[in-house]
Amino acid sequence: MKKNLFLILSVAVFALFAVSCGGDSKNDDKTDTVDTSPDTGDSSADTGDTAADTGDTASEVTDGEADDAEELPDTEEVSDNAEESDEDTPEEPDGQAELLYPEVTKTSNKEGDIAQNLVMYDDVDAEHQLAEWYKPNNPSSELIWLIFTTYDCPPCKILKKDLLEVNIKEFQDQGLKIVLIFNGSYQTGPHPEDEPAKLANTKDIYFSVDPETSRFAIYGYLKDQKLFKKFTSGAGSLSGGASYPTWAFINASNMEIIEWGEGWGDNMIDSTKRKIKLYLEEFVN
């Protein structure tokens, strides 16, 4: 009986011991599980550090790009350099040398005078000088016939018609240059603002009649009457006291007036052609 009781007690103690050991094992397992969580947290922190490192790397790349950008020339500096380059570039020449011209006399209305270097304008309002037909500037020029006329005076109308018969190709080829200056209306005087259009119309009429003999050196007009007055016999009036037409034959080699005249009449074509022929033969030969 006592043996059985001792056996039961022994089994009970053993059972209690076993249960006690099993509980410790579970607590140990739970402790291990709790310990794992902090490790996970550390891992997350490491991940965060990695992310931070990645962010730093991106910043460094950006800084590197910024360094590269700073090495590029500044826009304003480029512009300044371009302006400096333009300033250093020499200016292109106009391409037209200054025209030569001899020293002139006080008047240009008699034989032996040196013609004034008259400034005139054509039908497109471009400026010209009598110097353009001075032989050192224009080797083809031998004889200049300078004519001042109006659109409407009776002798002017005769001269304008006769010019088409005088300005033959033979004379042109030998060096005759007709400088035809229209100085407004005989009744109302010159009106420079109207002249380009009137000249263009007159030129068209001439060319419609005879394109070859209409090739004058220039169809021109004046904006300033000052030099024109030196070619006239009178003075003090707007036109310079001129009788129209006023004209002069000029030796192109020295710009000396070899014949000067005022007026025009009928039946002057043949005598004028003979005169021009003699002048050209003398100058060319």
Query: 120, 138, 137: which is closest to 129 by C-alpha?
Result: 120
pLDDT for residue 14: 54
pLDDT for residue 126: 97
pLDDT for residue 75: 32
CA–CA distance, 166 with 249 (Å, rounded to integer): 14
CA–CA distance, 166 with 273 (Å, rounded to integer): 6
pLDDT for residue 15: 53
pLDDT for residue 84: 39
Q: What DSSP line would sit under 217-239, residue for residue?
A: SEEEB-S--HHHHTTSS--SSTT
pLDDT for residue 189: 87
Encode the chain (285 residues) as per-residue pLDDT tens digits: 544 555 555 555 555 544 444 444 444 444 443 333 344 444 343 434 433 343 443 333 333 333 333 333 333 333 343 333 333 433 433 445 689 999 999 999 999 999 999 999 999 999 999 999 999 999 999 999 999 999 999 999 999 999 999 999 999 999 999 999 999 998 888 999 999 999 999 999 999 999 999 999 999 999 999 999 999 987 434 444 568 999 999 999 999 999 999 999 999 999 999 999 999 999 986
pLDDT for residue 6: 54
Q: Which fold has domain 119-188+209-284?
A: Glutaredoxin (3.40.30)
Query: 222, 43, 195, 55: which is closest to 130 by C-alpha?
Result: 222
Query: Which DSSP symbol is given to 265?
Result: -
pLDDT for residue 72: 31
pLDDT for residue 80: 40
pLDDT for residue 37: 39
